[in-house]
Amino acid sequence: MTLEVKIKRLPGSENLPLPTYQTKDAVGMDLHAAVAEDTKVVPGVVTAIPCGFAVALPSGYEAQIRPRSGLAAKHAISLANTPGTIDPDYRGEVKVLLINLGLEPFVVTRGMRIAQMVVMPVPRVAWAVVDDLPPTPRGDGGFGHTGH
81-137 pLDDT, tens digit per residue, is 999 999 999 999 999 999 999 999 999 999 999 999 999 999 999 999 999 999 988
For residues 58 and 5, the answer to whether their CB atoms sit within 8 Å is yes
pLDDT at residue 29, rounded to an integer:
98
Task: Determine the 3-state secondary structure of 71 from DSSP.
Answer: helix
For residues 108 and 49, the answer to whether their CB atoms sit within 8 Å is yes
Task: Determine the 3-state secondary structure of 39 from DSSP.
Answer: strand
51-74 pLDDT, tens digit per residue, is 999 999 999 999 999 999 999 999
Strand order in the sheet with 61-66: 29-32, 113-121, 61-66, 84-86
Domains of the chain: 6-121 (2.70.40.10)
Q: Quick check: bond before 88 cis, omega within 30?
A: no
What are the Cα distances from residue 9, in Å, to 38, 55, 87, 93, 117?
20, 9, 18, 9, 16
Q: Which of 40, 61, 53, 45 is nearest to 8 (CA)?
A: 53
pLDDT band for 43, please (50, 70, 90 cuts): very high
Checking if the pLDDT of 141 tops 90, the result is no
pLDDT at residue 93, rounded to an integer:
98
Query: Dmax over Cα atoms in the chain, in whole Å?
Result: 58
